[in-house]
Amino acid sequence: MADPLKSYKLSPQLRSELHFSHRRNHHAFEFEMPQAAQILKKLPWKAIGFTVLIFAVVISAYVGIKKGYDYAAAKNAQADLARQQEYENHLASVKQEVTGLAADAYSFVKLSQNYIKSGDAERAEAAAKLAVEKDPAWRDGYVNLGQIYLATNNFEQAKLTLEEALKHDPVYGQTHYLLALAYQELNDDGKSKEEYAKAKDFGFNSEIGG
């Protein structure tokens, strides 16, 4: 059989000590709570609220401006794409028109020269490109196209085209001379002098169809 539970009574002295401790803790809690409330009360809530409001306004303005900028950029990109497509369609129409005006590479070269003399750069370029398409191995087709690019201030494309001409005939003086002009316009004096020296060595020849 289990032992009966014993009853323990606190002595008067222990009860007194426990009661004193409880009262002391209770008073400490009552003292600390008003102190925390005073600290919170002293905070500059108006200034904090104003700062938060300004921050929110700035963020909202930034988001709004960014959205507006992104929208405008997208609209401009669409407009640029539409203009580019319109221009490409125009060039395709010009090429289609010029295609029926000659039959061989030499005739297209002559046609391009006539167009450039009359100031029609688009048709001159179209005819010159058709000459190259008709005979991709013909040196003078590339030389002529290079001349057209020089005449229309498309110097980078002139350089590339004339370099292609040199692959078909590296000792043609006229190609080197035109290439010297292209490098000069591209502010590459070293390459320009080098090509001009080669042009003098090989001799100038301005005739198309060699």
Farthest CA pair distance, the chain: 133
| Among the listed residues 198, 166, 168, 167, the one whose alpha carbon sits nearest the alpha carbon of residue 180 | 198
Mean per-residue pLDDT over the chain, rounded: 82
Q: What is the CATH number of domain 103-202?
A: 1.25.40.10
Upper half-sphere CA count for residue 77 (Cβ side, 13 Å):
6
User: Do the Cβ atoms of 94 and 126 come closer than 8 Å?
Assistant: yes
Residue 6 per-residue DSSP state: P
Domain ranges of the chain: 45-99, 103-202
Distances in Å between the Cα of 203 and the Cα atoms of 53, 138, 169, 179, 199 are 79, 20, 13, 14, 6
pLDDT of residue 37: 66
pLDDT of residue 19: 60
pLDDT of residue 210: 41
3-state secondary structure at position 172 = coil
Measure the CA–CA gap between 127 and 95, rounded to whole angstroms.
7
User: Do the Cβ atoms of 128 and 114 come closer than 8 Å?
Assistant: no
Q: Using 70 as the pLDDT threshold, list the residues of the chain that sit under it.
A: 1-41, 43, 205-210
54-68 b/e with 16+ CB inside 10 Å = b? eeeeeeeeeeeeeee
Measure the CA–CA gap between 95 and 99, rounded to whole angstroms.
6
| Among the listed residues 108, 136, 140, 135, the one whose alpha carbon sits nearest the alpha carbon of residue 124 | 108
Measure the CA–CA gap between 126 and 166, rounded to whole angstroms.
22
Report pTM: 0.62
pLDDT of residue 49: 78
pLDDT of residue 23: 55
pLDDT of residue 65: 85
Measure the CA–CA gap between 181 and 150, rounded to whole angstroms.
8
Helices (H), 100-188: 105-117, 121-134, 139-151, 155-168, 173-185
